[in-house]
Structure 1
Amino acid sequence: MSRRRVWSSWPPWAGLLGVVALWMAAAHQVPDSILPDPWVVTLELGGTLHSGDHWANTGVTLRNVVVSFLLSLLGGVALGLWAARSPTLQRALHPIIVLIEAAPHIAWLVLAVLWLGIGVGPPVLVGVSMALPLIYMATSHGIAQIDRGIMDMAHIYQLGWYKRLTHILLPHLALTLAGAASGALSVSWRAVIMAEAFASDAGLGQSLWGSYLYGEVTAVYAQVLWIVLLGLALEYLLIHPGRQLIERRLQHV
């Protein structure tokens, strides 16, 4: 069996086991105040899972992520479709989208706190500022790839805007948007948690930052482990299956 075939036969979680092995080896070389043992962190996380506050913070973060993602998805698709109908509008929107995309997370966070104060608003706004440009760009690019002849035929047969949307635009955009939505959800997840740490009174980000401020090193690693596990769950239980479902349905269209 070739070396390439051996490597390709390894399961996806083999890499995670490698990370844990490296973590265990490194933990024996440095103080616990810098890198605690993964088993100790796992036990800490197990205890945390019995806390009602932990689940409340998890619920707050998931809500913030879902709200920011849905706003980004709806806003990005709507702006992309609107811009597709007007080249002038598209030219006007492009530098604005680039400007939004170019500003770092922390800049949007500071502005969000100035505008909205501490609470739910800043995490959601920061998430939208990071994810909406991805959806808009994907929508604009996807529409540009549609065969012009198809749109001309729709015009000849006088298809209304709703039928063009449901029979031409969305089916052609489905796969492109699925990929963009995957990236947007991932970006929203990271941006929301970062914003919660500094501009929210609840959520996993705030809990993580609080553990750090109180010098609870093991709790910090437990929080990070939980955030990573939730991120993996979103990817492999929601995003990846959703993308595969869209691909299968498009194959039968």
Structure 2
Amino acid sequence: MRRSINWPKPSWGWASLPALLIVWCVAATRVPSYVLPQPWDVIAEAVHWIRSGDLGQQVGASLLRELGGFAAAAVAGLAIGTAAALSRGFREFVGPLNSLFMAIPPIAWAPLSMIFFGLGYLSIAVVIFIAAVFPMAITIQEGVLAIHDGEVRAARTLGANRVQLLRHVYLPASLPFITAALRIGFAQAWRALVAAEMIGASQGIGWMVAMGGQTGNSSEVLLGVALIGITAWLMESLVFRRIERSYESWRGQQ
């Protein structure tokens, strides 16, 4: 009896971007170029921004705001989510606040933040913080609550103290949820950043998109949109996936 060869199934993920470009090129031939430019027009716009040195400045300004607000939200989200999971009283206290702030679009806080802190770094960082902290706190809370009581009791039976429980039980078991919380928080923060920059900033990727729309430069708008997507994709590929690979080996050791 002949053995059949199980050939690997082809992955079609590589075809998505070329398909998008083909649809873009075809659609651009049906409308005026000032409405929808061709991809090479956007590339020419990018070359112009790179040669002038402004592109790196805009991306750097956005990343600086993002990292500041997101880092503060990550620390606060981890603390709030862990405390809510370990304390029923605190969980009942913050539950309505989580529901309230999750229901309000983060960009709605931008005008108030700019009134309090003025136009600049701090006002946008506050909007980023509000956008990211509550989804992260809820995700981490659910991750800690998902830990089986049997694992905790077994560790206590073996003489583990609170620090050892946190290091060898709670932290390894909740790492997937922490990574998921970071992903969700970064995505929410990145969207809020771009929206806030479109309203009240003098530089950044969101400001690029807003200025392109006001001047009727659709190539600049699409360049900003492409930068938003590329930056998020790079964070996913270079940061979050590496974190996953590193903690998987660490969890095995624990």
The TM-score normalised by the length of structure 2 is 0.88
Aligned twin of 1:178: 179
Aligned twin of 1:240: 241
Change (3 A) 1:158 1:180: same
Distance, in Å, in 2 between the alignment partners of 1:42 and 1:244 is 34
Aligned twin of 1:19: 20
Distance, in Å, in 2 between the alignment partners of 1:189 and 1:174 is 22
Is 1:31 aligned to residue 46 of structure 2? Answer: no
Extract unaligned runs of 5+ from structure 1.
none
Spell out, residue by residue over 1:142-194, the C-alpha distance to the aligned partner (whole angstroms, 9 max, x if none): 11111223334555666444333222221111111112211211221121111
Structure 1 contact 122–200 (Cα < 8 Å) conserved: no
Structure 1 contact 59–203 (Cα < 8 Å) conserved: yes
The TM-score normalised by the length of structure 1 is 0.89
Distance, in Å, in 2 between the alignment partners of 1:200 and 1:160 is 49
**1:171 match: secondary structure:** helix
Structure 1 contact 123–193 (Cα < 8 Å) conserved: no
Q: Which amino acid aligns with 1:35?
A: L
Q: Which runs of 4+ in 1 moved over 4 A?
A: 5-8, 153-160
Tell me how large the CA RMSD over aligned residues is: 2.3
Q: Which amino acid aligns with 1:9?
A: P
Distance, in Å, in 2 between the alignment partners of 1:157 and 1:93 is 33
**1:32 match: secondary structure:** coil
Alignment size in residue pairs: 249
Distance, in Å, in 2 between the alignment partners of 1:165 and 1:229 is 36
Q: Which amino acid aligns with 1:44?
A: E
Distance, in Å, in 2 between the alignment partners of 1:7 and 1:68 is 43
Structure 1 contact 109–195 (Cα < 8 Å) conserved: yes
Structure 1 contact 139–177 (Cα < 8 Å) conserved: yes
Extract unaligned runs of 5+ from structure 2.
1-5
Aligned twin of 1:106: 107
Structure 1 contact 179–243 (Cα < 8 Å) conserved: no
Output aligned runs, 1:203-242, within 5 Å.
Answer: 203-242=204-243
Aligned twin of 1:132: 133
Change (3 A) 1:12 1:245: farther
Spell out, residue by residue over 1:182-240, the C-alpha distance to the aligned partner (whole angstroms, 9 max, x if none): 12112211211111111222211112212222222222222222222222212222222
Aligned twin of 2:3: none
Aligned twin of 1:88: 89
Distance, in Å, in 2 between the alignment partners of 1:137 and 1:149 is 23
Aligned twin of 1:62: 63
Give 1:6 deviation, angstroms: 10
